[in-house]
Copies of this chain bind each other. A is one copy, B any other.
């Protein structure tokens, strides 16, 4: 049984499993994941739906903050905002989230979505697909 709150998020969220999000890295306030795009993810113009992008951004933000929590704690998104810089046309998407601040009751994180692993690793802004800022509640589970 996984005890880390963030790893648990990726294992037990049915929608994330349906999407096929692959966790690449999860530690010390950072969460990275990969998503292989399927036709079911598209909107009316053939781009990846904004809702798929925000799911990825939101969930990884929870992972980034969650990676800093203790086993009995968990996160719940309070709000997020996402800017869509370019239509998502690639067949793979990569998301890197970092915790900007994880406090006792509130966490702040941001997520960046790239269209290739190389871009995520370089952290370049040139090809950015989307960027989210996420506020999360840090909860002590019953």
Residues of A within 8 A of B (CB): 8-9, 11-16, 18, 39-45, 49-52, 54-56, 58-59, 74, 76-87, 98, 100-101, 105-106, 108, 110, 125, 128, 131, 133, 135, 137
Q: Would you give the shortest CB distance from A73 to chain B, in whole angstroms?
A: 13
| Main DSSP-derived SS at the A contact region | mixed
Bound Cα distance from A18 to B40, whole angstroms: 7
Q: Which of B8, B16, B86, B125 contacts A49 (CB 8 A)?
A: B16
Taken together, the copies of this chain in the complex come to: 4
Question: For residue A106, which residues in chain B have a CB less than 8 angstroms away from its CB?
Answer: 78, 137
Q: Are the CB atoms of A15 and B84 closer together than 8 Å?
A: no
Bound Cα distance from A96 to B137, whole angstroms: 26
Taking CB as reference atom, which chain B residue is nearest A106? B78
Q: Are the CB atoms of A87 and B80 closer together than 8 Å?
A: no
Taking CB as reference atom, which chain B residue is nearest A8? B44
Q: Are the CB atoms of A50 and B80 closer together than 8 Å?
A: yes
Q: Are the CB atoms of A82 and B84 closer together than 8 Å?
A: no
Q: Are the CB atoms of A101 and B128 closer together than 8 Å?
A: yes
Known A-B contacts A49-B15, A101-B125; A76 and B87 likewise in contact (beta carbons under 8 Å): yes
Bound Cα distance from A41 to B19, whole angstroms: 10
Q: Which of B51, B105, B131 contacts A100 (CB 8 A)?
A: B131
